[in-house]
Structure 1
Amino acid sequence: MASSSDEDFGADSDYKRPRTPTRRLPARTAKQKIPVRTTRASACNYRESSDDDSDGSASDADSSADQTLSVEANGGKRKRAASSSQDVRRSKRTLRSAGSPRTPQRPRKRNSPVKKKTPTNNSATRTAAIQSRDVCSLAGDWATLPYLVWRTIFDEIAAPLRDLSAREEVKSEASRTLLASARASKILAEPALTALYQTPPLTPLSTHQLLHTLMTPPESTMFNYRPKIEVLRIEVEQTLSRKNMGTYLNLKELLQYLPRLKHIDLYTALDAKPWRQLDQSVRWKYSPELFNALQSMPPMGNPELTDEGLTYLPLESWSWSARLIPSAWSMDEIRSIHSAPSFQFLRKITFVNFQVPSVTSKIKDPIAIAAMDNPVIQDFASTITLLPKLEHLVLEASTVANGSLLEQLPRNLKHFELINCWDVEAEHMVDFLRDRGHSLKSIVLNHCQSLSLQFLPILGTACPDLEEIHVNTKYFRHHEFYNDDQPFWDVFLEPEQIPTWPTKLRCIDMQHLQFNEAYRAAHIFCKSLETSAHRLPHLRKLAIDIKLKCNLNVRTKLRNYWTPRLQTIFKRPLVVPTSVADASRLAKQLEQQAVLEPGRRKSLKACSTPMRRSVRIAEIISSPDVTQDEASATSGREARRLGNESYDADGESDDELSAEVYTDPTKNSPVQRLCNIVEIQLDNSRVVEEQFAMVDFRGGPESEEEEEDPDWNGRDEDFDD
């Protein structure tokens, strides 16, 4: 039965029955007013009735189908977007013609409760919000940057892949970043993959995948991956000794696809610290086929071009492990390999776990031990001298490294590393540096149990070109359940032995210096850095970690005196330039300040002239931990060291005794202030093999917040808006 309203209004009437209220069209839509201020919700949802009438012929199904759900990258907030660009322009024009002034957003009261949005259960919205936060947006015209700029950026990201000491999670993060960058844009693909493939992070599975990729013809791939690989590091026990994907990895087949390979490191985890499994053997060994493959490489890494002739692979670095050498081999086989063309361009070589025969024998006669070990040491030294271009020598966990070997090493070495070699003493290093240290640019002495710092007094004169010195006196136990990690030296550094530092030093990194009760020697050690500050214009990193086992009062005075003092002397002040011109001008000023003569720098006036003997003694007396009795003994030793036997501490003139002494760690100090890194630590903490930090107790790479609350989109609307 029709109602009265239907009878009163005919078919030609302008009246239209309101449609049934829905979620998208509430019943009070007709009463919607122009918003007072423009907000994100009003700009997206508000439309005048004229717009609705113009589209009235469209059905509800059509309008709902045209609208899409968009998720903002910065907030993850759901919005209803207009169905077309025409609707967007119409809505903007309507808002612009409204003429209502914008009112500022009302600030929230300080004590008012925070309103939290109820979490949504829509999995699609939650997934879109998580994906939107992973999108990287770059401002500016980044697409026009040249290839070399992107290559430099990605090389910095890939730095952990080339660092042997980097943590595995750091390497995994670097690999994921490079892969994500390569997939983000075609412009970033080649520089990101070039940085990744230069030192590919290989696992048992990825090595087979890499071989499959290299076997694919370059014409069918986006890039030619073969010449991108320059460094190859393979863990032999997991990758070469075991089957993966049903087969063993053919290392010879892998090498023939790498025409630009320069560095090969075949290692085993048993050779890593703490070096307590040196006697354990592994299944995989070096084979003649491996070295024959290095001498018969196809041109351009293409096995199809073997008809044009074979060539050799000029290596720049190689690593030998004694446990990987077959038992039937002798030093003659290693000498023949070093004489091959592939090894004639070798610049760096590493020897790991090479022991002398007397280690396993029960002979105690020193003469018999020397007669047994000297021929082996001579053969070992002859294999090193066969490398004409060798510049970098690394000896690790080897008893063959002793004073006799150091006397037979080449004289043109530029980089020398001793790692966990417990037969090298300070006297051996003194003779080595005096005879062969004039060309050294870097020295690394880590975990050598018999080596003290008594070679530092001749360092400045014996190594004039030295740029880096790294020392770590943390020792490792030879047996897991025995405390045999105590040092073999008697005196770490005598107070009379004042260190000298080369003028070209750029890095001084000395960790876990076990001065123990020799706190006066520690004071003289720090004093040598202070007096040499004006002679170290190239120094950019100073990291000193001193361990003392002395009275708390003495240790506190030393720490409070030297930590701020060395920071003041060497730390570069933080200057933030306001423009590029200011930055270039500041850099020029710093360079000019570094090359100025010490006498022309006002800040170096206190130490521009050589210090007299009486001034040094006065400074020792004024040190925060030395008593008068110790000072008298020190002055006597200082006199004997200088050859003045008639010296009397009480015979100083008044003007010499009135020389200025340093009492305040921040006053009257020489100024270098060019170091970007200055880390001074002085405590009595116990030196242990494994020192845990906060990063060791963190979770995985996934965010902890997402694990606790997966519905949270990472933003707080009340604070982030």
Structure 2
Amino acid sequence: MAVTLKRKRGAVSYKEPSSSEDDLSENYDQGRNTVRERTAPTRRCAGRSQAVDDVSSESEHDSPEPATVSRPRTSRAPRTSRPSRVKQSISYKDVSSDDEEDEDPDADFELEEEQVLTVRTKRRATAPPRPQPRKSGGTKGRCRRKMVLGAPLKLNQQAQAQSERKVAAIPTDGHNPAWATLPYHVLLQIFVYASHPLHDENMKPTSAIPWLVRMARMCSTFAKPALTALYRNPPIFAIRQTRKDLVHHLITPPPDAHDDCRVMVKRLELDATQMTALTDPTNSVTDLVGLVRSLKTLREIDIIDPMDRPPFRARLRRLRRWVYPNQLFEALRQSSLRLRSWRWNQTFCSQGPLWIKTIHTDAAFQSLRELTFTKFHPEADREDADAPQDEPTTEELLASALAVLPKLRTLSFETCGVVSGRLLPLLPTNLVCLSITNCGELLSDALQAFLATHGTHLEELVLNHNQALDMSFLPDLKCSCPKLEVLRMDTTYYSSLAMSSDNEPLYDRLLGENEIPTWPSTLRTIDLEYLRNWNSTSANNFFNSLIDAAEDLPWLQEITIIAMVDTDWRQRAEFRQKWSAKFKRVFARKWEATDPRLASLRAFREWKARVGEEGEEAKVDSFIADVPEELHEKAEAVTVNEDSDSDVPLLPSRTQRQYEGWGSSRLRSRSKAATSYGEESDDEAVSEQETASDAEKEVFVQGRCHTVIFRIDNSRPREEMLNEADFLDAEPSGDEEWNGNEDNDNEEGGGYAW
């Protein structure tokens, strides 16, 4: 038999041995010899292999006498000894290059002098090891991190610091307000504001639902306003286990109910994809009809498909098609409901637009103020010349369906191919709000012509995700829409398929170099995001038009501009710095700290006790309230002698401030303020100062916008935008330093050491 130099490793345990000797190996030879002790660990792998081979039997034996082992040289040694039960000491010394040829490459430990390993052949249940305290210093070995998929993460120090809120100390008398004495309408507004929304866009419930239930059970005064806030828009599809009970409770409330919940419901949001699971697949239509009939104050019905939201792509798997049941409209005819909001989805319509017109003539739909069309597309073009040409088109049928609604004021189109130059001229002329979203056939010329004829009463214009729409309609916006208050346009586009990349704009340029936008004076909100496909000249003209019109925009309170300019990165940085500072200086409202004297009645009394009434009035009269009065006196003394070399800042005297003309339309010239500090001898400095002062005079500071977001970069919009929070490092919970005694084989989910 050939002699093998490399021995097979047996199972090695590094746990401390127990006091009993029942499970030790007894399969050793009775006539084994005693060999001399090993004096030096010359070959760490060979030494450990010898200890393993000597006790590699897997059967149970009697307790033999302990003996020591020595390291063999060339052949397998007889099993004449077994290891002594001595606690081992493990060293994590790196493998030397001299020993790599003969030793086991999988060996990771080194045995010290006169110490061997204890090997168990039968595993026994032992008590769990005591937790060892973590050491503050580093460890010699590697750290073992337990990696479990989906484990919660620890917050890093920065996130923990942000999560800790600093509460300012406010002096108070300790009197709690009598909340129960507030009137019903005040409590209702409080509960509605505190609980909105009850569910997210995916119909997932929020913590506001159980909170309203607890508030309703707290006291009898809170019961009705809390339940009204809950049932105003009941979260039917946000709950699963009790959905059937909620529907039946709304249809037939129990006789011992605190209030009649049927008069609290104002709006119904229904998911068409789960309509068969409203109560059960058999009685869902009947329960829906009963729900509509029982609600006496219902005003809005919105039946949606969650896939109609961005990115506007169809689902991968087919679902059973749900259509508007005829029983629903029959129940609306027999009821006394007068709807204000409704949504039509062509996917749920079993008939065409002509049938929609007949539905609009019902009394329940004659009071509609808001109407939404989703996924309405035109019919195929008639290519056959022999086909009858006198048949009405889809655009004409929709326009006729809208013409029978006398109170319609808000109209929305979502993912509709019918929105084009054919439909827009046929829309009503008394629209107040128009929203067009993800309509790829809409062009700027058709929109500009529509606004010229139908934009007189328009107050809100929302144009989001329209891939072929540019901003060429802005030069005539002031004349076309003199009452416009809200303008929103998001140029983020989505691909038709998840794996495709057809989300680029379909227009050549967003705004021409000679097209200067005009802005109505009634604007309150300007929200323009991800503007692109234009050069720096067009962008300069666009930004200058807003700066120049600042004096004519007294009601503007919110402005958001996110754009991309195709220039060099250095020029883009200068471009961004210049316009960001100018927009903030012109439109941003100056922050004013809250007055600590008005924090509470006690704070006001304490302030009044400290300061006399006459002294406070004299302090408030000054234009610069933050500067102490002593500094004002020193400044007045300095202004008398202008040639003085004092370092005290030059402030205008009281008489000078009193008669100096400060107004919203007039700004003090920098050249006048600069002459007090000294004359410049350099002609270039004087010319630059005059140029800056002239430019300062031309800028009007509007200063009334509470929101000013101005960002210029070249980050392309994506469906999921990642920010800094998505790349912050956070350690998994339970991540501790490895102490060497962890049994990784028994961990659930496994793990590995970094």
Shift of 1:390: 0.2
The equivalent residue for 1:379 is: 397
Cα 1:291/1:168, change in 2 over 3 Å? closer
2:718 corresponds to which letter in structure 1?
V
Provide the secondary structure at the position in 2 that maps to 1:403: coil
The equivalent residue for 1:336 is: 358
Provide the secondary structure at the position in 2 that maps to 1:526: helix
CA distance in 2, matches of 1:146, 1:706: 51
The equivalent residue for 2:699 is: 669
The equivalent residue for 1:593 is: none
The one of 515, 521, 535 equivalent to 1:497 is 515
2:451 matches 1:428:
no
What is the correspondence of 1:382-393 to structure 2 with a 5 Å cutoff? 382-393=400-411
Shift of 1:510: 1.1
The one of 372, 394, 406 equivalent to 1:350 is 372
Shift of 1:217: 4.0
CA distance in 1, matches of 2:708, 2:388: 45
Provide the secondary structure at the position in 2 that maps to 1:399: coil
The one of 604, 613, 626 equivalent to 2:665 is 604
Cα 1:671/1:273, change in 2 over 3 Å? same
Cα 1:142/1:694, change in 2 over 3 Å? farther
The equivalent residue for 2:216 is: 182
Shift of 1:244: 3.9
The equivalent residue for 1:646 is: none
CA distance in 2, matches of 1:696, 1:664: 46
Shift of 1:371: 6.3
1:181 corresponds to which letter in structure 2?
M
Cα 1:281/1:378, change in 2 over 3 Å? farther
2:328 matches 1:261:
no
TM-score by length of 2: 0.58
What is the correspondence of 1:217-256 to structure 2 with a 5 Å cutoff? 217=253, 219-240=255-276, 244=280, 248=284, 250-256=287-293
1:292 corresponds to which letter in structure 2?
E
1:688 corresponds to which letter in structure 2?
R
Cα 1:428/1:246, change in 2 over 3 Å? closer
CA distance in 2, matches of 1:601, 1:399: 55
1:416 corresponds to which letter in structure 2?
L
The equivalent residue for 1:317 is: 341
The equivalent residue for 1:566 is: 583
Shift of 1:668: 6.0
Q: Given that residues 218 and 225 in structure 1 are in contact (C-alpha distance below 8 angstroms), is that contact kept between their aligned partners in structure 2?
A: no
The equivalent residue for 1:512 is: 530
Cα 1:433/1:198, change in 2 over 3 Å? same
CA distance in 1, matches of 2:321, 2:367: 30
CA distance in 2, matches of 1:667, 1:552: 31
The equivalent residue for 1:678 is: 708
Q: How large is the RMSD of aligned CA atoms in angstroms?
A: 3.9
Cα 1:475/1:556, change in 2 over 3 Å? same
What is the correspondence of 1:530-541 to structure 2 with a 5 Å cutoff? 530-541=547-558
Provide the secondary structure at the position in 1 that maps to 2:206: helix
Q: Given that residues 205 and 244 in structure 1 are in contact (C-alpha distance below 8 angstroms), is that contact kept between their aligned partners in structure 2?
A: no
2:332 matches 1:294:
yes
Cα 1:456/1:517, change in 2 over 3 Å? closer
Give deviations 1:294-349, integer Å, cap 9, x for gaps.
Answer: 1112xxxxxxxxxxxxxx310001000000011xx222211110001001000000
**Higher gyration radius (CA):** 2
What is the correspondence of 1:547-696 to structure 2 with a 5 Å cutoff? 547-578=564-595, 602-605=663-666, 669-693=699-723
Cα 1:454/1:661, change in 2 over 3 Å? farther
Q: Given that residues 175 and 196 in structure 1 are in contact (C-alpha distance below 8 angstroms), is that contact kept between their aligned partners in structure 2?
A: yes
2:249 matches 1:213:
yes
Give deviations 1:420-452, integer Å, cap 9, x for gaps.
Answer: 001111101110110000100100000001101
Higher relative contact order (CA 8 A, sep 6+): 2
CA distance in 2, matches of 1:546, 1:670: 23
- Greater percentage in helix: 1
CA distance in 2, matches of 1:706, 1:150: 45
Q: Given that residues 178 and 193 in structure 1 are in contact (C-alpha distance below 8 angstroms), is that contact kept between their aligned partners in structure 2?
A: yes
Cα 1:526/1:344, change in 2 over 3 Å? same
CA distance in 1, matches of 2:735, 2:451: 57
Gaps of 5+ in 1: 1-112, 114-136, 298-311, 590-599, 608-656, 699-703, 709-721
Q: Given that residues 548 and 699 in structure 2 are in contact (C-alpha distance below 8 angstroms), is that contact kept between their aligned partners in structure 1?
A: no
Q: Given that residues 559 and 705 in structure 2 are in contact (C-alpha distance below 8 angstroms), is that contact kept between their aligned partners in structure 1?
A: yes
Provide the secondary structure at the position in 2 that maps to 1:413: coil
The equivalent residue for 1:33 is: none
Compare 206-215 and 276-285 and name the one that shifted more.
276-285
2:554 corresponds to which letter in structure 1?
P
Cα 1:335/1:368, change in 2 over 3 Å? same
Provide the secondary structure at the position in 2 that maps to 1:679: strand
CA distance in 2, matches of 1:235, 1:379: 27
Q: Given that residues 540 and 677 in structure 1 are in contact (C-alpha distance below 8 angstroms), is that contact kept between their aligned partners in structure 2?
A: yes
Q: Given that residues 495 and 524 in structure 1 are in contact (C-alpha distance below 8 angstroms), is that contact kept between their aligned partners in structure 2?
A: yes
The one of 206, 220, 232 equivalent to 1:198 is 232
The equivalent residue for 2:421 is: 403
Shift of 1:550: 2.1
The equivalent residue for 1:116 is: none
Cα 1:284/1:662, change in 2 over 3 Å? farther
Q: Given that residues 510 and 534 in structure 2 are in contact (C-alpha distance below 8 angstroms), is that contact kept between their aligned partners in structure 1?
A: no
CA distance in 1, matches of 2:695, 2:715: 24
CA distance in 1, matches of 2:500, 2:387: 26
Provide the secondary structure at the position in 2 that maps to 1:548: coil
Q: Given that residues 509 and 534 in structure 2 are in contact (C-alpha distance below 8 angstroms), is that contact kept between their aligned partners in structure 1?
A: no
CA distance in 2, matches of 1:667, 1:229: 57
Cα 1:259/1:242, change in 2 over 3 Å? closer
The equivalent residue for 2:683 is: none
TM-score by length of 1: 0.61
What is the correspondence of 1:134-173 to structure 2 with a 5 Å cutoff? 139-161=176-198, 172-173=206-207
How many residue pairs align between the two structures? Answer: 484
Cα 1:271/1:215, change in 2 over 3 Å? same
1:174 corresponds to which letter in structure 2?
A
Shift of 1:218: 5.8
Q: Given that residues 278 and 353 in structure 1 are in contact (C-alpha distance below 8 angstroms), is that contact kept between their aligned partners in structure 2?
A: no
The equivalent residue for 1:305 is: none
CA distance in 2, matches of 1:397, 1:142: 47
The one of 297, 314, 336 equivalent to 1:277 is 314
Q: Given that residues 282 and 324 in structure 1 are in contact (C-alpha distance below 8 angstroms), is that contact kept between their aligned partners in structure 2?
A: no
Provide the secondary structure at the position in 2 that maps to 1:172: coil
Q: Given that residues 562 and 665 in structure 1 are in contact (C-alpha distance below 8 angstroms), is that contact kept between their aligned partners in structure 2?
A: no
Cα 1:368/1:199, change in 2 over 3 Å? farther
Gaps of 5+ in 2: 1-135, 137-173, 601-619, 624-660, 669-686, 737-754
Counting aligned pairs with the same residue, the percent is 31
Cα 1:370/1:529, change in 2 over 3 Å? farther
Q: Given that residues 216 and 222 in structure 2 are in contact (C-alpha distance below 8 angstroms), is that contact kept between their aligned partners in structure 1?
A: yes
Cα 1:662/1:438, change in 2 over 3 Å? farther
Cα 1:517/1:442, change in 2 over 3 Å? closer
CA distance in 2, matches of 1:389, 1:696: 47
Shift of 1:528: 1.2
1:183 corresponds to which letter in structure 2?
R
2:592 corresponds to which letter in structure 1?
V
Shift of 1:393: 0.3
Provide the secondary structure at the position in 1 that maps to 2:422: helix
